[in-house]
Structure 1
Amino acid sequence: MTRKSGWGYGTRAALSAVLAVTAALSVLAGCSRPADRPRPERPADRHTVATHPPGSVDLGRWITDFTDRITPEGAYRVPAARERRAVADGVRAFLDGDRPRAERSLATAGYTVRTLVDRDGGRRVAEIADATRDGEARRGWGRVYVDLRGPARWQVQVPHPAADLRTEQLGIGLLRGTPGGVMVLAGAHRNAGGGDEADVAHRRDSVFAAVSDALADRELPAVQVHGFADQSLPDHDVVVSTGNGSAGLSAARRLTGALRAEDLKVCEVWERYCGRLEGRTNVEGDYAEAAGVPFLHVEHNRRVRMDDGLVAGAVRALSEVTRRWAAGRG
């Protein structure tokens, strides 16, 4: 009995020694760190923070994520006159440099403004948008982006995202490339909601039209980008029009030359018939004509819009116009 009892004691002692050594090794290996203790910052984490400051986004991806959610089955509600006016007044106040007044006006329509930093170049851009994603999905009124590198000098309008596939890429390219730009971006497919109520290029009762009008009142010239099916005009890549106006004719001619320099085939509406792609019924164009402000209606075929290289070429050509506008020249 004594020997058996002694053997049990030795075994327990040995096991205790093994457990002690294991615990010590665990501490040395870091395995005993409590689960809720903050993870030490690694060099990779410091590098990421330095490269992408807080609040920064890839602006192209950010806007494309928004337009990717736009579908023909989506909802759209025609805004009341007071809601249209509140957003337009908010944009006016923001461009006047009065952000508090802008925020108050926008809030009455459920909108807000925030500043984004684009990781591509570090440019600062203000986003004026519905305060919640749910609101965007239910109302579909769209967004406004304001380049903050200087005073607003020109605008690019994207009335048919998703319907005119990838036209937002043209707008993004222009906004990134030329200072002083404002991009007005529709928030619903042109077929959303039933009938033509979401077709903001042909309806006066939209936030899109209200903001575009406010910018025209400030004498900001505009380019409105569209897309058409290749078979609609098979011998041309791009259709350039000034709508029903003539204030933008010199800019339109300049754009035509720049597009041809990119090896794109252009149909000039003031020279020939270009099918049903001439922008003669565009409400933003009509308002710009009444205000005496240049307006360009530019259609791009599918081949151009689906090719990143051709999109870049179209943006370079359009930039020949927007750069002059940014410099205060026609």
Structure 2
Amino acid sequence: MKKLRSTARASVAIAGAIVVVGLVLYLLPTGTGNRKDDKPEPGRTDLLSQVQQFSQGMSAEMGYTRPTQAERTAISTGVQRVLDNAPNEAKDVLAAVGYTISERVDTATQRTYHEISDNAGNPRGWGRIMIDTSESARLGIEVPHPKADQDSESLGVELFRKAPGSVLVVAGAHRRAAENRVADMAHTTATVFEDLHELLVRRRVPVVQLHGFQNETAPDSDVVVSAGPSLSSPSAERAAQRLESAGLSVCKPWVTGCPGLEATTNVQARYSDEQKADFVHVEVSRDIRDNPSARDQVASVLAGKKGDR
């Protein structure tokens, strides 16, 4: 009997010790400082579906508010810090103007990117930026007329997926969302879109800007390629040649003229021309944009090989 009581007391003591240890572990902080394992997993998303949904929510009647100079500067500064590999330093700057930065993984490529987007309750139309983190920035991709140039945003994502190290800038409003063309990102300068374009140019990042045209505007062409006011450049000529080699009909304004599609009044093209920067303006027919396999072909050609730019 004495032995049983002793065993019972020992069991109670052990159980009590386990409870105490468990309580101590429960009360200890769960964080472990800056261990790599503590970093939250980035969200996984289908970037193409996300951007298509974003653009389809735009309206030709509303959805654009002119940003102040301070707001434009804050967003540009935030993007610059991400490009400088300092995303944590961008958070407070962006938050001050209602923008957030999120780390995501595109399910189609399994590549990680930073998304910088408007978190305001009402759409302001300032745009969304995706920065691929697999390499240093080597290509800027601009979509100034999402929804208005239908599926130009889809082409932008497809090019982004094929060109690691890309920065994709998608305008945040329909080009007719405000009077006097102030929501038309390719024809007004006091915008977040223009500031980001100038940032890329200052960093000497080549830029491809994607547009769309109705088939009847240039019925004999699948694609129109231009460098803007100067019409031709080595990059524009290489892009046109590669597109032709892929079997596409290409209008080259430095050869035949392509009225209305030459980007001579495009403000990003003009700025690039003044800075002698690498800029290619690409207009794609509706037939090509409507066809996923044809879009994929154009994106593949524009992405080129790593040493093509």
Asked whether the 8 Å contact 1:245–1:295 carries over to 2, the reply is no
* SS of match in other structure, 2:293: helix
**Match for residue 297 of structure 1?**
281
CA deviations over 1:140-186 (Å, ceiling 9, x no partner): 11111000101111101000000000001111011111111001110
Letter in 1 for 2:145: H
Residues 287 and 311 from structure 1, CA distance in 2 versus in 1: closer, same or farther, beyond 3 angstroms? Answer: same
TM norm structure 2:
0.83
Q: CA deviation at 1:317?
A: 1.4
Aligned equivalent of 2:298: 314
* Residues 257-278 of structure 1: per-residue CA shift (max 9 Å, x gap): 2211222110001112101100
1:235 correspondence with 2:186: no
| Matching of residue 122 in structure 1 with residue 105 in structure 2 | no
Identical residues among aligned pairs (%):
37
Q: Scaled by the length of structure 1, what TM-score is found?
A: 0.78
CA distance in structure 2 between the partners assigned to 1:113 and 1:292 by the alignment: 31
**Equivalences for 1:268-307 in 2 at 5 Å?**
268-307=252-291
What is the number of residues matched between the two proteins?
269
Matched, 1:204 2:204: no
Residue number among 244, 253, 277 corresponding to 2:237 in the alignment? 253
Supply the distance in 2 between the matched residues of 1:217 and 1:178 (Cα, whole angstroms): 20
Map 1:90-105 to 2 at 5 A.
90-105=78-93
Q: Partners of 1:110 and 1:180 in 2: how far apart?
A: 26
Question: 1:216 aligns to what?
Answer: 201
Shift of 1:254: 1.5
The amino acid across from 2:211 in the alignment is H
Unaligned stretches of 5+ residues in structure 2? 1-40
Aligned equivalents of 1:185, 1:258: Cα separation in 2: 25
Return the match for 1:109 from 86, 97, 106.
Answer: 97
Alignment of 1:1-330 (within 5 A): 55-132=43-120, 134-135=121-122, 137=123, 139-245=124-230, 249-320=233-304, 323-324=305-306, 327=307, 330=309
- The amino acid across from 2:57 in the alignment is R
* Alignment RMSD (CA, Å): 1.5
Say if 2:126 and 2:191, in contact at 8 Å, map to a contact too: yes
**Once superposed, which parts of structure 1, at least 4 consecutive aligned residues long, lie more than 3 Å away?**
none
Report what 1:47 is aligned to. none
Paired AA for residue 268 in structure 1: K
Residues 239 and 299 of structure 1 are in contact (CA less than 8 Å); yes or no, is this contact kept in structure 2? yes
Letter of the 1:197 counterpart: V
Structure 1 portions without partners, runs of 5+: 1-52
Shift of 1:81: 0.9
CA offset at residue 73 of structure 1? Answer: 2.1
Taking the aligned partners of 1:292 and 1:87, their CA distance within structure 2 comes to 25
State the one-letter code of the partner of 2:142: Q
**Partner Cα distance (1:183, 1:162) in 2:** 16
